[in-house]
Each structure stands twice: as C-alpha cells, then as structure tokens.
Structure 1
C-alpha cells in the first residue's frame, strides 16, 4: 500500500482531503476504593508563590501538640505523588502526626548540587522556604516542638542530608530513602566540627543505578569534562562514615543484619541506621501482596515509623531475596488530582541511553499534566534502554527483561495507591522509547488506550506480534533532518561490514500503521502557522479517516526538524537535536490526540 507514502512525499501536493474524525464520549467513571489525598496550600516566600501539602490525621486535637513530619518528594515529583505512593498517611494516623509536603520551585531541591550538576534552573532558598512552612503550620496547629521529623525520597533524601547537617532544625529523626550523599554536600554542609548530628536512618537498594553501592561519578556530563571534575556519588561506606563521625558513634555497629547496620548509644545521642536491600533498586520500598514489582518484604513506611517512634526497640528488618531485576520510575501527580475521581495517566518512555528524569526534562510533560489534569509516569528502562524486539530477534541474553509485562504491572501497582482511570492510560515514547511504544501498540492495547511515538520508525520484526492483535490509535511524529533515527530508516553493519536496513523509513512506517488500521486512502492535511521562532521549519499534520474500531492514525511531519521533542528546546545537545520547532508543543499535541480515545 503506497497511499501513506504518497501523502508524505507529496505533502505540498494535490491531496483530496475531507472531514475529520469525531471525538469519543468518555464513559461514566467507575466506582473506586477510597484513596489517600493531601490538600495543597500556597505560601508567598521571597516574592514567589510556593506550594506545600498538609495532611491532618483524623485524631488531631487542637488541645494536644502533635508530631510534625516533613516529607520531601524526589526529582520531577510532587506533594500529591509522594503522599499517595509512600503510605505515610497510615503512619500519620497511627501516631497522630501532621504530615507536611513542601514542593520544589521547579524540579530540583537546592541541595548544593546546582552548579556541579549544571541544572538548568536557578537554585531557590529551599531551606528558608521549608522553615517558613513549618512556622506557618505551627501558627495554625498545635505542634510538638520536640517531635519534628524529616523524610526525603530520591533527591528529597539528598536535600534531607543537607537540612540535617546544617542543623536548620532540631530534628527528632531523619530518614533518607533511595538516596546516598554526593561529594558536593561536603562543601554545602558546614565543616564537620560545626555540622549538626541527627538521628538518621537510610534505606537503600544495593542495585540502585542512581546511587550505586560503591559510589562513583555520574556516567555522562557534557561529554568533555575530566572525570576528576565530575560530581561524585559517595558510597554506602562513605555516607555512613560521614554520619558516624557527626553523630559520634563507635566504629563497630551495635547490631547488624545481612545487609544493614545499627549504631546505638552514639555520643551525640543521635542513632544511625542503615537498611540495605541487597536485591533492591531505586524505589520507595513496599511490602505486601498488593504489589507485583520490587517485592523485597520491607515496607519503608513501617521501618521509618519504628525508627522515629520506637527507637529503643528498633530492629533491622530482613529482606526477602528475589532474583527479579528491580525496576524504577518517577511519578508526577498534579495539584488538581482528586482521588475520588478516576484520573488518566500518560506513561512517557525515554530514549537510549536515557532515564526517567531525562524524559521528564525532554518532554516538559509535568507542565502539560498540570494544565490538563493527568498523571505523568516516567519509567526507567533497564541499562537505560527498552527491550522492544529482543525476544523477536533471538537476543534474550542481551535483553532478558520483558518490558511489556513490566509496564502492565506498573499500571497495576500504581493503581494500588492512585485512582487511575484504567480506560484512559496512554503511552508516548521518544527515540528508543518510541520503538517501545510501537511494540506496546501491538502488544498492550488491552491496557493502554492510545499511543504516540516521536522520533522512531518501525522494526519489521514487530509484525509477528502486530498481526496477532487488533489495531490501536497511534500518533507518529518525525523530523526530516533527524540524524539519530534518520527519515530513511535505521541502517546497521553486520560483523562482515555489510550495511543492512533494520527499520522502515518514515513513509513505510506510516504505511504500516495506516494499513493495519484499514484507514481510508484520504484524510485531513493541515499546516501549522509559523511562530517565527524557528524559520525554515514547517509542521504538517495528517489525520487519516475511516480507520477501523477507532484505531486512528495521525502523523506529524516536521520539515527541517531534528531528533528532539518539538516545543522543548535546550535539553538535548544541538548536535543530536538539530532544529527544535517551536510551532507546536509535542506534549500538548499528543494529549489532544490521547484525550479523544478511551479503552473499550
């Protein structure tokens, strides 16, 4: 079938276009269990409106001072995400504690690493803001000043180290989950003789790719800096040694487990505990049969509760060992999230080599989630890539993971704590993540309602699974000047040096999905007005008509565009990204396509 190819190659040409497709009505929401929620408040600090969440336990009594727990979310996260996914509401109810979730201004805490990590945003006075939030809560509620606790997850854990060492408050307990120290904290914190001790518990997976057990430099940093200049992730041993010295603990632990250590009776009176998970990764650790992924038998919330409130009897937990590879992801829940209402979610898959946080930055999808009210999910591929065809080409040793099953199970696990609308789950992907998106369009249309692939083309091996399943709505987007995934398709050399084409070209990819959805040979072509920000680049959209079972096909052709996410400049290096058109925003266009489709 050559229709789609002609529509692309003759985009300026003589196409006969007719009316558009009709939007589907959303089905009525299904009944759902009760999920935890946290109201969001704002506070003007330094002339900037900042946000925080505040959860009051049902037993709160204004006449009885209550413990106050500060909880800091991770990269690209939010107060509502951490509250829902951590289970801390149960701790608050059990202890009658107030839970406060300050939010970043941007995506990173000012943990001392902005210069070292070349973050794109200016640092904020987060320590001052957090102090202002505590004072605001103390002004309105009865707070026990002797029971101020601090919890940080992911980058929130790094910020917790800084707040603790600086002694911004007399914390009764500090917990860092899936975070070790960076070397820049040694400069951000006061000199050791002046730094503050703090009762500290660290929960950490030995297979954490972001904070490896042995530490080390970050793997990529601009491409040309000397390794000695790279920011260094401190090892488990170095992180523990630092806090051992601050807390005045003995060299040998009071108690040990297979992968943990407890230092009690330290000179400062501040205990130190390390709970290691030998098979764990980067995660807020959960236990229980409700979850399918990362089952290690340790519930982070329970461990923190015991260390904070039952320290004299605290015992190191034992891990349930498993051979399953740990998986990781980031979740952003917008402030408009209402757990009483099923909420759509968009899963965004990074390229290769890439990461969840990289995809969040490349797409700026949190901003679209705020505007449109969906949850954004950023999973990590194993070894920074996705297995879209490994099982189809006999490469299971190189790609042993089943990413289709992983992403389906991830939706199940997130549904334990978030009221996801299971009829409105969507997948988008960029580059290697775009290839994986095409695989899911053929293998997971029973879970996801629509798909959008940016900067990727079709692997012919996928046909073996595509032909076995019904077509699904899909949006494709590609630039004609893409140097990473060329418009003419991907070519690779074999061991003998012979060049082979391993993916279809863009017109062939479009042909495949138009044929798969049995669309009519005519459709609607439109050109977007030029914004003036990217001269010489033109953006066309093709909407194909009459596709069976509402399996719509839409194609965005970026003439002069490179390997990038349209509308979000400055994240990918120019040598790869090429020209980033500002005439459209890919995230906004993709959501407009997604919201027309629901899973039957």
Structure 2
C-alpha cells in the first residue's frame, strides 16, 4: 500500500510538472530539491531562465503558495516560471508539507513562526540560502511573494529577514502577528515587527493586492497591512515614530483591465525613497490571484496582472 501511494504521488507530481511548464519557459530549466532544518523538512522546485550565466548575478524570487495548493499549482497559477524566462530572474517555490499542515497552509499563526531562526521562516530562509549557494544570485535583489497563507508568511519573512529579502508582495494576507478579530491597533503589530527586525531593521517596501469582495480575508485587512508596515518602516528608518512613513496615500489612481476588473492603486511614499508601500484594491474580486491562470481554481484572469506588477515593483526596490 505504501509503495503504491508513493508511486501514485510520483505520477501526480510528474503530471503537475508537465502542466506547470509553460511553452515559453521551455528553454530554461527546472530544478528540484529538499531542505532539512531544525524545524523540519520541505521540498521545493524552481526555475532558472536560459539567460542565466554562472558568475553573473541574477535576481531571485521566493514564491509561496496558499492553502490547498502546492508549489506546482502556484507556479501554474502565477506563471512565474514563464515570467522568469521572459524577465530574467530565478524563481523558487517552497512546498508546504501535508504532515505540517493537512491543508498545506503555511502555519503563520504559530508563535514559533513569527521569529527569525525558528519554524517555517527558518526553513524558507534555508531554501533561499540553498539556491544562493547553487546559483549566482544578486544579494540586493532577493524577494518574497505569496497568496493568502503564503502572503502572510511573505510578510513574516520581511520582518524576520529584512537583511535577506529586499521587498515583499502580499495577496490577500494579513499584518504581522495577524489579529483576525481586528481588536488590536495595527500600529502595535507595526512596533512588534520593528522590534523583531532588531539590529537588522530597515524600511522594507511592500506591495499588497486585495479583492473588495473577498469572503475569506475581509477587504479592510489590506488597510491593516498597510498601517502595520507604515509603522514598521517608519521606525526602521531612524528609530523614531515620527510619521516619515505613514498610512496616508500620496497618490490614489483608478485603473481598469480592458474587458476586466477596475481597481484602485494607492501609493505610500517615504522621504527620498519614492514609493515604499503600494496597494491594489480590486473591485469585485474574491479570494483569488489577480490575473491568475483560469486553469486554476484560484485564478482571476479578469484582474490586473499581479505577477507582472509584482516584478515591476520588485525591480524598482533593490535592497539598500
């Protein structure tokens, strides 16, 4: 029975891989691995574009799936491997273990997963370091993104490893030390995030996507994410809570996808930094990945192209 289950899993993985390889990504190559740390073991897969040359630094994107997904499904949903081939970056997709969470959610509510060197953040950081050891990665251009539970974990990575991740993008996530009942002031979580950064504190640029009709993550949560990061980044600038970065947008622009959804794009700036925080509130969108492949249950092709927008945001925000 065990051998049969292993064989079936191998077949399913092969099928998922086949479906997840876009035609335009055929000239690069995929890689697969397993990382073991004190907090457990996690599989991962990734993609190296055809333009990669050893010795020439290339950006790295760490992409985290949501609940009931796996790394292959998230690759298919987002098209990040194809985008990596097109735009010239390495992407790695850590895979949550069903042994750690039967629904394959990243376990962001656990206290051990809120701190550097512990739990799942340490495993993802370990996978990141493993990829860095195998390829020539631009250390100033390492980024993290995710959807839902993966979004929350991406935010945690920004707080726990600000010296590693230059910027993060979050789709339908919540603030650091997420308060589901929204009983705490997000400024409190912002200060907690700054304290967690410690001596590594720096202003981390953050991009947020949220659907206005999301039945899983209340749309108002996006405002809490912005408020948390505004406080964290403000304190990280100079250690003073002086409003250099705040949750008041300097720019609010309406946009639309031809034949698709409308959205509001808000930009929050810092002194001499340009945009630090950005929010896309997408009208009528549910708990889905904006612009994601219709072949996935979580894709919303009528939304703005979250993957392309995310990469543009990341390119504008190397680690300083």
TM-score by length of 2: 0.69
What residue is the counterpart of 1:157 in the other structure? 151
**Match of residue 169, structure 1, among 139, 151, 163:** 163
Q: For residues 356-505 of structure 1, what are the structure 2 equivalents within 5 Å?
A: none
What residue is the counterpart of 1:262 in the other structure? 267
CA distance in 2, matches of 1:287, 1:110: 24
Contact 1:198-1:270 at 8 Å conserved across structures = no
Q: For residues 538-549 of structure 1, what are the structure 2 equivalents within 5 Å?
A: none
Is 1:183 matched with 2:179?
A: yes
Aligned residues: 253
Distance 1:287 1:180, change over 3 A: same
**Match of residue 311, structure 2, among 302, 305, 309:** 305
Structure 1 residues not aligned, in runs of 5+: 1-31, 116-123, 215-234, 313-600
CA distance in 2, matches of 1:83, 1:247: 30
Give the CA RMSD over aligned residues. Answer: 3.3
Quote how far apart the aligned CAs of 1:167 are: 3.1
Cα deviation code 1:82-137 (max 9, x no counterpart): 111111123212332110111223323232x148xxxxxxxx81111112112211
Is 1:128 matched with 2:125?
A: no
CA distance in 2, matches of 1:134, 1:201: 20
Quote how far apart the aligned CAs of 1:245 are: 1.8
Distance 1:34 1:277, change over 3 A: closer
CA distance in 1, matches of 2:189, 2:65: 20
Quote how far apart the aligned CAs of 1:207 are: 0.5
Is 1:138 matched with 2:116?
A: no
SS at match of 2:36: strand
What residue is the counterpart of 1:243 in the other structure? 229
CA distance in 2, matches of 1:51, 1:161: 21
| Richer in strand (by share) | 2
**Match of residue 218, structure 2, among 208, 212, 219:** 212
SS at match of 1:246: helix
What residue is the counterpart of 2:286 in the other structure? 281
Bigger Cα Rg: 1
SS at match of 1:100: strand
**Match of residue 106, structure 2, among 106, 109, 114:** 109
Quote how far apart the aligned CAs of 1:276 are: 0.7
CA distance in 2, matches of 1:261, 1:41: 38
Q: For residues 8-19 of structure 1, what are the structure 2 equivalents within 5 Å?
A: none
| Richer in helix (by share) | 2
Structure 2 residues not aligned, in runs of 5+: 1-17, 112-117, 235-244, 255-263
What residue is the counterpart of 1:81 in the other structure? 73
| Greater relative contact order (CA < 8 Å, ≥ 6 in sequence) | 2
Contact 1:42-1:51 at 8 Å conserved across structures = yes
CA distance in 2, matches of 1:48, 1:211: 28
**Match of residue 66, structure 1, among 58, 79, 93:** 58
Contact 1:43-1:50 at 8 Å conserved across structures = yes
Q: For residues 445-594 of structure 1, what are the structure 2 equivalents within 5 Å?
A: none
CA distance in 1, matches of 2:31, 2:134: 15
What residue is the counterpart of 2:9 in the other structure? none
TM-score by length of 1: 0.38
